[in-house]
Structure 1
Amino acid sequence: MRALLLIDLQEDFLNPPPLAEQREDLVRAVQGWIDWARDNDVPVIEVRTVLPRDKSTWALNMREDDQPVVLEGTEGIERLRELEVDPHLSIEKRRDDAFHGTDLLDRLHNLDVDEIVLAGVVTEACIAMTAATAYAHDLKVSIAEGAVTSYDEKRHTAALKWLEEQYRQQVVTPDDLT
């Protein structure tokens, strides 16, 4: 069974430039994937980063720069207001990798999911880390065309190339999956 994983589609990530300029196109593409999931009885799992204010789980670069995002209790942790989705599951994470320190793998197994389609931000960080760990857990991974992006086009392209060459994880369209 497949599941659609929505990664970090949150206000803090899509408000600053240059992702703010990509927001409308990204939301349109992600909504198309959400609609595809609904039409094909594919569970949607929303994964959001939520960090405590006390720095205990901040990534090294956030601590070094003292520049956190997605702090608990702020509007920045909220799902993008334009998205219309009622996820089957919601998971909070503290690091780039959606599997790290969460029960995502157990929840996928409980749903008999053996294949995931990833959508969200950012390609070379949270998407790539989650995709690599999924591979390590013998999950087939596809990347939702148009529904992943980055602050940097070169890094985005390089990450997608790496995922395809290293793990055979391809960018797909909904038609590829029917």
Structure 2
Amino acid sequence: MHEIPRLSERMAVLIGDMQNAFFEDPVLGRRRDPLVRHCNQLTGLAHALGMPVFNIRTEHAREKSTWTLSMLDDDRGFLFEGSVQAQNLAGLDVRDATEIIKRRDSAFWRTDLSHRLQGLGGESVLIAGVSSHACIASADPDFERASLGLLKSEYREGIVTTGSLLAAHEGHLAAEIHGHGSK
């Protein structure tokens, strides 16, 4: 079992693609509420510990200039700027997060995320949200075929649950964390 990381202001939380379009599929739609709850718990913990939080969303232009190759091949785009599909899920508490708009799976491709993390003195990130394994895999070409299992066994990267993070950092922060985002 991997050790629970000691959270600090030198870590950042990245909440990825928690947008309406990704939950239109009924299978993922059933996971919506628990995933929103876990993301809110994680951002609550991050805020209580002084960690920066980034809300990373995908958006595309209707006129196709930002479309992926597969979207162009299919002549079918989605997550259009300003659309309901591209909006954050209702109930997701990212009000104090820095928003990063991305055009590809990687939040680092043609965004200023790397610069922002360096400016904050960030040493590591916690990634949460929908399809976070795909975001991890696309963030670095060397991880292109990575899965959570591969990250855990071959790269020895920590994969922990929201519950284990909360339990490890409970103490005097518990009331503040559990109350965050429930208003």
TM-score by length of 2: 0.76
Number of the residue aligned with 1:171: 159
- Matching residue within 17, 21, 26 for 1:17: 26
Q: Distance in 2 between matches of 1:65 and 1:101?
A: 24
Q: CA deviation at 1:73?
A: 2.2
Greater than 6 Å deviation, 4+ residue runs: none
More strand, by proportion: 1
Relative contact order, CA 8 A, sep 6+: which one is greater?
2
Q: For the Cα contact (< 8 Å) 1:46–1:87, is it kept in 2?
A: no
- Matching residue within 106, 109, 113 for 2:122: 113
Q: For the Cα contact (< 8 Å) 2:16–2:132, is it kept in 1?
A: no
Amino-acid identity (%): 37
Q: CA deviation at 1:29?
A: 1.1
Aligned residue pairs, count? 156
- Matching residue within 150, 156, 168 for 1:162: 150
TM-score by length of 1: 0.78
Q: Distance in 2 between matches of 1:63 and 1:177?
A: 46
Q: Distance in 2 between matches of 1:102 and 1:46?
A: 13
Find the residue that maps to 1:13 and give its secondary structure: helix
Between 35-44 and 158-167, the greater mean CA deviation after superposition? 158-167
Find the residue that maps to 1:167 and give its secondary structure: coil
* Structure 1 unaligned regions, length at least 5: 136-154
Q: CA deviation at 1:177?
A: 6.6
